[in-house]
Structure 1
Amino acid sequence: MAMSTPTSSSDALVTIFGGSGFLGRHVVRALAPELHRMRIAVRRPDLTGHLQPLGRVGQIHAVQANLRNADSVASAVRDAGVVINLVGILFERGKQSFEAVHVEGAATVARAAAAQGARLIHVSAIGADPDSSALYARTKGQAEAAVLVEAPDAVILRPSVIFGPDDAFFNKFAAMARIAPALPLIGGGRTRFQPVFGGDVAEAVRKAVDGEVAPGIYELGGPDVATFKELMRLVLDITQRRRLLLPVPFWAAKLLGAVLKILPNPPLTPDQVELLKADNVVSEAAIRENRTLAGLGIEAHTMAAVVPSYLWRYRKAGQFTGRRSLA
């Protein structure tokens, strides 16, 4: 599935929408040694200072752009050779709806990239399906369709749950374990995941930027497949805490999500509960067709090699907590 003529060049300008976020930091770090010039297109350019140390002087600069504003998107991709769209939301808030961000926003970026003649790399998610019962997955699937209409030669990457320092998955449950007497197992905790390290996803993006990835849809999962219950046990083991693992039926979790979704940053929404009804793993078709990390020549990191390096801070005494002291 690889192309034979890399296009890496210090003259190449890469526009990255959503480059200041969790995955964006990994992508910028992966591209910096290649000497690509990077334009970080975000709603708040003043909040991108943490990216500057990742590259050389003048290599990384930020511009204001909003996916709901086509003119700002077109301006952000001007003169770019490659456009990367990392933008996604986990819950809706005000004008930031799944339809506006995932579907219309992705189509706007793809349209601008096509008009510029730039190659497009679009990051979606495993489970993206225009017929999904979960709005998140449904709009992710609709976004892929919209992208391919505007940019048929796009590279679409579908990661599973992404882990790494500052992730929104392991950190959330580790923080919950510090104060809650139990961790919820929604639907009994039987949903399967294939968590993937953010650095490995970024390496796939880097290969696509350098022309080493053929157009198509790729599914990115790590080497470990685990149920939600097993992942919660991993969190408790690393943080050295004893907590009850409490099975919660889907219907009850949806009621709880309906209450919690009013919070500014809800830990659970009804749509996220709906997502948990389907496994989040690389498909057999993707494995068979080498549309995976292994197919791209990337050796994926295990959870055991990475997750303990940042979850230790949730132990009772941080790195000073002994194995015999459990809270």
Structure 2
Amino acid sequence: MGNFGRGQLVTVFGGSGFIGRYVVRRLAREGWQVRVAVRRPDQALFCKTAGQVGQVVPVAVNVRDQASVRAAVSGASAVVNLVGILFQGGPQRFDAVQAQGAANVAAASAAAGVRALAHVSAIGADPQSPAAYARSKAAGEANVAKAFPAATILRPSIVFGPEDEFFNRFAKMALLSPALPLIGGGTTRFQPVYVLDVAEAIARAIENPEAHAGKTYELGGPRIYSFRELMTLMLAEIGRKRCLCSLPFALASLQGAVLQSIPFMRPALTVDQVKLLKRDNVVGPQAAGFAALGITPTALEPILPTYLDRYRPHGYYSRA
């Protein structure tokens, strides 16, 4: 990877999020000066502890605002874009954030003479997808490739780790409910990928830009699981027995329509998320992945016990 990066500035959009905090930590450890570009810098102050005094600096930016994006990339040698949303609300729309926002970051990076750009998308990004989320991800990729042809695009499957939105969400549900829903019967397949592996892939993409310029990598763990298998594994880990109830897609869509219409609440399920679950979320058979980046992905089973213990009947001291 050479010396590219040490002492140079990298701007990480969405650097205080789940994946972002690990990217910031990885880059700071290798000597980068890290600018954490987020909407609420006051909520990203914890990122500063990832480096030495003054090495990691949160700044205010909104990817929907071109002027703030240009300011955030000024002077940067590399840029990472991790910004994304799981549901729409107010001005935070899929197209505005994941399509146009990606275009803003890529165009500003090109204009600023940035050497490397890593854009994080998602497996399932498809302009023909029935889900607006996946269509906007595909549009974002296309916009990035047009504005910054040398960008590296990374598409992870569901990402697991201490702050994840997947296992923590369902483990919390298991504390309160005697049953967990298996939308579509739980047959949708996933390839869970460890957050530290994703962070390493992003870092390698920008630290060796010539090798990864213009390439797309799909990031999945070493094993594929059905939704039912993942719920069974999670319940075994937290030591709780719950009924796994199949929920037809049609009924789940109706439930999502009701939940997403409740004002001032983060919806537990949306119609668009149900549409996403109709397609498997696994690495394509011809896609380049971790092997092309020189990374061996981490298995799920050894990691889950390190952060799901809080959901066990007696916490850390339980035996799941």
Shift of residue 116, structure 1, vs aligned partner = 0.7
Tell me the residue number matched to 2:127: 130
Tell me the residue number matched to 1:190: 187
Shift of residue 234, structure 1, vs aligned partner = 0.8
Letter in 2 for 1:214: H
**Is 1:304–2:320 an aligned residue pair?**
no
Letter in 1 for 2:56: I
Tell me the residue number matched to 2:218: 219
Tell me the residue number matched to 1:48: 44
Letter in 1 for 2:274: V
Structure 2 spans left out of the alignment, 5+ residues: none
Shift of residue 6, structure 1, vs aligned partner = 3.5
Tell me the residue number matched to 1:109: 105
Tell me the residue number matched to 1:239: 238
Q: Conserved in 2, the CA contact under 8 Å of 1:8 and 1:34?
A: no
**SS state at 1:303 partner:** coil
Q: Conserved in 2, the CA contact under 8 Å of 1:8 and 1:36?
A: no
Deviations 1:129-174 (A, max 9, x none): 1111111111100110011010011000000000000100000000
**SS state at 1:165 partner:** coil
Q: Conserved in 2, the CA contact under 8 Å of 1:258 and 1:269?
A: yes
**Is 1:285–2:286 an aligned residue pair?**
yes
1:194-205 residue pairs with structure 2 within 5 A?
A: 194-205=191-202
Q: Conserved in 2, the CA contact under 8 Å of 1:7 and 1:211?
A: no
Structure 1 spans left out of the alignment, 5+ residues: none
Tell me the residue number matched to 2:255: 256
Q: Conserved in 2, the CA contact under 8 Å of 1:182 and 1:243?
A: yes
> Comparing 260-269 with 226-235, which one deviates more in the overlay?
260-269
Q: Could you tell me how far apart the structure 2 residues matched to 1:322 and 1:40 are?
A: 39
**SS state at 2:212 partner:** coil
Deviations 1:258-302 (A, max 9, x none): 11113421111000000000000000011xxxx101221111111
Deviations 1:71-90 (A, max 9, x none): 00000000001011000000
TM-score, normalised by the number of residues in structure 1: 0.94
Q: Conserved in 2, the CA contact under 8 Å of 1:128 and 1:137?
A: yes
Shift of residue 181, structure 1, vs aligned partner = 0.8
Tell me the residue number matched to 1:172: 169
Shift of residue 56, structure 1, vs aligned partner = 1.0
Shift of residue 7, structure 1, vs aligned partner = 4.7
State the 4+ residue runs in structure 1 displaced beyond 6 angstroms: none
Letter in 2 for 1:195: P
Shift of residue 9, structure 1, vs aligned partner = 3.5
Letter in 1 for 2:219: L
Aligned-pair identity in percent equals 52
Q: Could you tell me how far apart the structure 2 residues matched to 1:61 and 1:7 are?
A: 22
